[in-house]
Amino acid sequence: DVKVTQSSRYLVKRTGEKVFLECVQDMDHENMFWYRQDPGLGLRLIYFSYDVKMKEKGDIPEGYSVSREKKERFSLILESASTNQTSMYLCASRTGWGNTEAFFGQGTRLTVV
């Protein structure tokens, strides 16, 4: 059974903290993605990676960075957390492009206070 695992379901952090969200997939997929999900806005792409150490900005990369040192792991970093980064964060992976299925983790609900 394929699996994308996010390290935390719920996280509470203080404004200004550096926050790490971890995602691991066991399917040997080349491509991994970080989205944030907000009511009425759907899923917005923050960053994606198409290979180890390769990354591209999505639609809302400001305030975020990513790291992909190993194929199975893709980390999202909030350099200095702010209250407007309170959201649900979803990680996904897939092989290839186009018509291939993306597999999602269960999400991390991050609250910044």
Binding site for another protein (CB under 8 A): 4, 33, 35, 37, 40-45, 48, 50, 58, 90, 92, 94, 97-99, 101-107
Answer yes or no: are the C-beta atoms of 46 and 64 closer than 8 Å.
yes
How far separated are the first and last CA of the chain, in Å rounded? 37
Q: Closest distance between another protein and the C-beta of residue 57, in Å?
A: 10
Q: Which is nearer to another protein, 14 or 42 (CB)?
A: 42
Q: Closest distance between another protein and the C-beta of residue 41, in Å?
A: 6
Closest CA to 78 of 64, 57, 97: 64
Q: Which is nearer to another protein, 48 or 78 (CB)?
A: 48
- Cα(78)–Cα(63) distance, rounded to whole angstroms? 6
The token duo for 95 is 């092989």
The token duo for 100 is 């291939």
Q: Which is nearer to another protein, 19 or 34 (CB)?
A: 34
Q: Closest distance between another protein and the C-beta of residue 14, in Å?
A: 26
